[in-house]
Amino acid sequence: MAVLKSPEEIEVMRQAGQIVRACLNRIQQELQPGITGEDIDELAEATIRDLGGKPSFKGYGGYPATVCISVNDEVAHGIPNTRRFEEGDIVGIDVGVIYNGYQGDAAETFAIGEISPEAKKLMSVTKAALYLGIDQAKAGKKLVDVSRAIQHHAEKHGYSIVRDLVGHGIGREMHEPPQIPHYVVKGNSTTLQVGMTLAIEPMVNIGDWRIKREADGWTYKTCDGSLSAHFEHTIAITDKGPLILTKDESDE
């Protein structure tokens, strides 16, 4: 069962989400050819701690770093390393923060310099699919409505939705019920309620949806070597509709 949050708890999660957002914004400023994943990881941890948060991922299940960094055909959970990013790479960065006992989680895929038209389109479609899913996250609707909106948009453009990795409820724990597939699963679907907090995070591949886990035990890649993009927000379902807790409030 989903753990419903009070408005006060959602406000703390919003504060956690704003640390996540500040971290992603800071990373975006530094991303350029020649920088490494380890450089970004150090920057991310310093930013999170300077803002009063704690990295969620570091040590979670033995994960060794602050952020997950996945490049080109890597789908998710890539471990930051000394590989230097190159012009044309697309880099997915997933950030998790604990603040006053509550979690925030978001991911974006960034371009390194000038990227191919195919990569630009993939990133645009994946981001749009995320927001179309969020638009369906309203009290009284079903979780499958979120999944359907995401899948329809990705597949309309000829892409595929990763099926082995899903979104999740979030709160005091990084992973809470319910699981959130980004494709339609037949059968009963959870009814969305005010107070639910969810991390919705479609991973979309240019080619086939199948993925494989690498020898490091964490990194997932597309089986066919095709590019993959990943976008994520933490949201709360309120009586006024979905509230994005990890959006950039500095633009408002």
Number of domains in the chain: 1
**Residue 103 included in any domain:** yes
How many other CB atoms are found less than 10 A from the CB of residue 111? 17
Say if residue 76's pLDDT is above 60.
yes
The pLDDT tens digits of the residues spanning 37-60 come to 999 999 999 999 999 999 999 999
Mean pLDDT of the chain: 97
With respect to residue 2, please indicate whether it lies within any of the assigned structural domains: no
The CATH number of residue 118's host domain is 3.90.230.10
pLDDT at 252 over 80: no
- Express each pLDDT in 138-172 by its tens digit: 999 999 999 999 999 999 999 999 999 999 999 99
Whether 1 maps to a domain, the answer reads no
- Regarding pTM above 0.85, the answer is yes
Query: Are the C-beta atoms of 3 and 198 separated by less than 8 Å?
Result: no
pLDDT confidence of 204, banded at 50, 70, 90? very high
**106: nearest Cα among 231, 19, 252, 198:** 231
d(CA 54, CA 205) in angstroms, rounded, equals 31
Domain coverage including residue 17: 7-251
Q: Is residue 85 part of a domain?
A: yes
pLDDT value at residue 227: 98
**82 near 35, Cβ under 8 Å?**
no
In a domain, 112, yes or no: yes
Q: Tens of pLDDT along 10-26?
A: 999 999 999 999 999 99
Residue 188 within a domain: yes
